[in-house]
Amino acid sequence: MRLLQLQRRMARAVMQPLTGADRIAPKTDAGYIKPNDRLTSVERLEVYSRSYWFRVLDSLYDDFPGLRALLGQRAFHRLSRAYLAERPSRSFTLRNLGSRLEDWLRSNPQFTGGRHALALDMVRLEWAHIEAFDNAAEKVLGPENLLELGPSFRAGLQPYIRLLALQYPVDDLRIQVNRASDERGAASNASLKHKHGNLTRRVSRSKPEQIFLAVHRLDFTVYYRRIAQEEYRLLNALRDGQTIGRAIRSAFENSSVSTDEQRSMLETWFAAWAELGWLCPPARSKGKRLTQ
């Protein structure tokens, strides 16, 4: 047997789902492994299989606390096992393990217990949180660049900012979950279990409410900033490489906001973006002219 064949056989065996009792399937193909005086071939393989599953399940557990609170521990565990069985890691880093969860969940609504849209929104927020935490930050556009501000000016959006249009106020829910997890250590296990049950009930009863969110970071801490629909559209248009003039037109297309109000809103937004350092040179023209 060649190295590649052995590695394919062993990887298949290690990554196959564990049984309900967290054991490797007894009939697993392990004939290529030597038994010893204490363990059979399958038992030796099981050390690796359990280690694999505990590691990847732990990683999802840490990365999606909001989804966990929403579904409850058992349902979250079932979802995680099914997702990882169908979409094992394709990246050298565990950081990216949840990158395909939203896509997978869209075609597997049976794992969200009738709260599909809410669960999808939470997954999108939690993946955005990961990206906002450690995505790149480009040089901030300073006042000298903003002097050129005019309809033909192009600006980019910091790569760490994630813009979301959501059907549920999952930002509030996730903040509640964070707060509850911060309280850990100060309370007894029984009290924590009770609190967790309440939280799951509260989170799952959440009512629909369309919100627009910028998930960003400031001083290395991730924040969720609610933004207006027009601001969301404008930021997306800038990220797509449109000029300021076009981006503003598309942001207020079919909007009932008056021209005066638009001017006031734009002033407020640009001031806030400048303060937060959200604007950077456009992605494809770094070092080039910022105007057409």
Kindly list the residues in this chain that would bind other proteins in the complex (CB under 8 A). Answer: 1-4, 6-8, 10-11, 14-15, 31-34, 36-39, 41, 43-45, 47-48, 51-52, 55-56, 59, 88-95, 133-137, 159-160, 217, 220
State the nearest-atom distance from the C-beta of 4 to other proteins, in Å.
Answer: 4
Rounded to whole angstroms, the Cα distance separating 99 from 130 reads 9
Q: Which is nearer to other proteins, 138 or 148 (CB)?
A: 138
CB of 171 to other proteins, least distance (A): 20
Do the bridges between strand 211-218 and strand 162-166 make them parallel or antiparallel, or are there none, so unpaired?
antiparallel
The H or E element containing residue 214 is strand 211-218
Rg, Å, the chain Cα set:
24
CA angle (112 as vertex; 107, 114 as ends), nearest 5: 105
Tell me how far apart the alpha carbons of residues 66 and 118 are, in angstroms, rounded to a whole number. Answer: 11
21 vs 147, beta carbon nearer other proteins: 21
- Measured CA to CA in angstroms, residue 202 lies from 69, 110, 198 at distances of 9, 21, 6
Our CB check for other proteins shows the closer of 21 and 190 to be: 21
Closest CB to other proteins among 38 and 284? 38
Nearer to other proteins, 2 or 74 (CB): 2
Min dist. Cβ of residue 45 to other proteins (A)? 6
Q: At its nearest, how many Å lie between other proteins and the CB of residue 120?
A: 25
240: how many CB neighbours lie within 10 A of its CB? 14
Q: What are phi and psi of 114, to 5 degrees?
A: 80, 5
Please state the closest distance from residue 192 (CB atom) to other proteins, in A. Answer: 20
Amino acid at 280: C
CB of 152 to other proteins, least distance (A): 29
Of residues 60 and 69, the one with the C-beta less far from other proteins: 60
Long-range residue pairs from 10-14, CB within 8 A, at least 24 positions apart, any chain: 10/45, 10/48, 13/45, 13/49, 14/45, 14/48, 14/49, 14/52
* Residue 97 beta carbon to other proteins: minimum distance, rounded to whole angstroms: 8
Give 89 or 145: the residue with its C-beta nearer to other proteins. 89
Spatial contact of 141 and 280, defined as CB atoms under 8 Å apart: yes
